[in-house]
Amino acid sequence: MGPRRVSRGGDVGPRAYGPPMDERQLSLDDLGTPLCDVTFVVVDLETTGGKPKDAGITEIGAVKVRGGEVLGEFQTLVNPGVAIPPFIAALTGITDRMLAGAPSVAAATASFWEFAHGAVLVAHNAPYDMGFLRGACEVTGIPWPSPRVADTARLARRALTRDEVRNCKLETLSAHFKSPTPPCHRALDDARATVAVLHGLFDRMGSLGVQTLEDLLAFGGRTTPQQRTKRHLIEGVPEAPGVYVFRDAQGRALYVGTSRNLRQRVRTYFTAAETRPRMSEMVSIAARVDPIVCATDLEARVRELRLIVEHQPPYNRRSRHPERMAWVALTREAHPRLVTVPRVRDAHVAAIGPFSGRGAATLAIEALQAALPLRTCTERLPRTPRRTAGCVRAQLGQCAAPCAEAGDAASYAETAASAYAAMTGDTRAVVTALLERMSALSEEGKFEQARAWRDRLESYLRGCLRDEQLAALGAAEEVVAAQCVDGAWQIHVVRYGRLAAAGIAARGEDPRPRVEALVLAADVVEPGEALVEETEILWRWLTDGATRLVRASRSLALPMHVGGAHLDVVREARAAAETLRYTDDRRSLRPSA
């Protein structure tokens, strides 16, 4: 039985599947995100007065607002784990006794990030507050969410004159804007006062042209000269879903991205909201932006992937090196063994993957060899043994030693057959063996070793599932599917794992004629042309639960024991283990098998 080869690479030339650009009705105004539609979380901290990296937070207060309306408030005292200096206690009124039963820094900041999820943060003298929040994340192990931040102090310095206010302290500004809650060095009251200042600044900045979130971030931030001088590149970019390509003066692609609103997304590269140094460098080189309007979001993601692989833009990091992918293959020889290869060939009887790199492939091999004692020697072995005794692994009972006269070639053949089954859809033998090993290690208290074997099992299961998905979709001559989005049907034609056509049937329109027209106009695709990542994107869309299958040339079912259910269990175990980092008393917890 030969190896299954699916979606190993191919032509990536772009093709427009949707309607021509001039058929779309495009806005002439670059609106951005209106301020009335943005959710802001205005936050203030009280601290011990130490360094931000020490995360000495004693109180967090925050107010969530949108469109001038208060949506909610957040307030908690925080136990920083250190004594509060007398001066700070006198200034804020917060004492060690008050904080004795307060939540820890880890618990309080985790609750705050949940409250502020998806919002734009606002603070007065924001670098101070953001420094302590970042320090808390570093101390507690919480990933820094990289929020967008507006600083009312900086905004006030640009929007107000010395004739209006003598300084830009919170007390001065809250009095100037007649805040109903004066600041008093308590977090929630100071946050409420900052809300009044923010709304007052909105009224003032409106006459200065600040109408959108992008305008606000640019007004209060620092844009580079290159960003300011290159803003004309936005001209001609439509408000439509699709792909954008930054190019230099010679027409070479610098960066490829995708967005549901091309104009809004491209515009952010020329505002202070864009703080990535490499993107600022890219903007300084760019000479034009080419928009490619797409019929659907799925088409945009596929076209972005193809363009990145084709042009290798220097400022893209994702999908630039498909050659780094690796497969785990079982060799076609008298006594098969496992190898890591960059591509599957006829010399391999079975393969799983691809994996993101050789490291992940090695983990999968270790999982297989732990359950199935395959040989690890790299030489090609004849059918007739040449050695008297086997290697060290044979002496330890980890290999049947088919290379030795004292070995058991028949037993090894059974092991190789089991390995073939484990790599062609039946993961039960490997899963059972590794779960037993993990359970035994956990009972012995060797939790780190158990987690290491869990990682090996996860890598193996991912490779098996990925291979079956690619094989199922890559072997289908044609699959037509549709998804209803806002009353319109987004229709896609997939051939051999590659997107061949995409279009939309508008709300109220009979989608069947549109389906037939797309099928007739779809690209001709040969087996093996599709990119691995493209086939994966299409598989996820087909199986996301909202897609309806119109027709398929073959079944897209996966083997019953390919390991998807086991992989879900492993993922849940990993997620549960990760939550231990966010608990205050994690040292008292004991992981189980």
What integer pLDDT is reported at residue 130 of this predicted model? Answer: 93
Q: What percent of the chain has pLDDT over 90?
A: 49
- Report residue 290 CA to chain centroid gap: 25
Cross-strand pairs, 244: 257, 291
Residue 406 has pLDDT above 50, yes or no: yes
Q: Active-site residue numbers?
A: 185
Give the whole-angstrom CA distance, residue 430 versus residue 435.
8
Which range (147-156, 351-360, 369-378) has the least confidence?
A: 369-378
The yes or no reply on domain 35-211 and CATH 3.30.420.10 is: yes
- Note the pTM of the prediction, 2 decimals: 0.62
Which range (25-34, 146-155, 206-215) has the least confidence?
A: 25-34
What integer pLDDT is reported at residue 405 of this predicted model? Answer: 52
What integer pLDDT is reported at residue 293 of this predicted model? Answer: 95
What integer pLDDT is reported at residue 208 of this predicted model? Answer: 74
Q: What is the pLDDT of residues 34-47, one digit of tens each?
A: 899 999 999 999 99
> In whole angstroms, how large is the CA radius of gyration of the chain?
30
- β-pairing, 39-47 vs 57-66, is antiparallel
Question: φ and ψ at 82, to 5 degrees?
Answer: -135, 160
Alpha helices in 390-427 (DSSP H): 392-395, 409-422
Give the whole-angstrom CA distance, residue 410 versus residue 510.
63
Residue 393 has pLDDT above 80, yes or no: no
Q: What is the pLDDT of residues 338-355, one digit of tens each?
A: 889 988 887 788 999 899
Contacts of 120 (CB under 8 A, 6+ apart): 38, 39, 40, 41, 147, 148, 149, 150, 213
Domain 223-322, architecture per CATH: 3-Layer(aba) Sandwich (3.40)
Residue 386 has pLDDT above 50, yes or no: yes
DSSP string, 351-399: EEEEESSHHHHHHHHHHHHHHS------S---SS--BSS--HHHHTTS-
User: Three-state SS across 82-136?
Assistant: CCCCHHHHHHHCCCCCCCCCCCEHHHHHHHHHHHCCCCEEEECCHHHHHHHHHHH
Q: Name residue, tokens 């780094």.
A: 324
What integer pLDDT is reported at residue 17 of this predicted model? Answer: 33
Q: What is the pLDDT of residues 455-510, one digit of tens each?
A: 999 999 999 989 999 999 999 999 999 999 989 999 999 999 999 999 999 999 99
Residue 521 has pLDDT above 70, yes or no: yes
C-beta neighbour count of 144 within 10 angstroms: 12
User: Domain spans of the chain?
Assistant: 35-211, 223-322, 324-456
Which range (43-47, 170-174, 179-183, 205-209) has the least confidence?
A: 205-209
CATH topology agreement for domains 35-211 and 223-322: no
Give me the mean pLDDT over the 402-425 stretch: 79
Give me the mean pLDDT over the 205-215 stretch: 81
Q: What percent of the chain has pLDDT over 70?
A: 82
Give the whole-angstrom CA distance, residue 462 versus residue 458.
6
Contacts of 464 (CB under 8 A, 6+ apart): 352, 422, 423, 425, 427, 562, 563
Which range (42-46, 201-205, 224-228, 581-585) has the least confidence?
A: 581-585
Give the whole-angstrom CA distance, residue 467 versus residue 329.
12
Using pLDDT thresholds of 50, 70 and 90, give the confidence band for residue 387.
Answer: low
Which range (2-6, 221-225, 561-565) has the least confidence?
A: 2-6
**Comparison of pLDDT for 14 and 554, the residue scoring more:** 554
Q: What is the pLDDT of residues 219-270, one digit of tens each?
A: 766 666 777 778 889 888 998 999 999 999 999 999 999 998 898 889 888 8
Question: φ and ψ at 515, to 5 degrees?
Answer: -60, -50
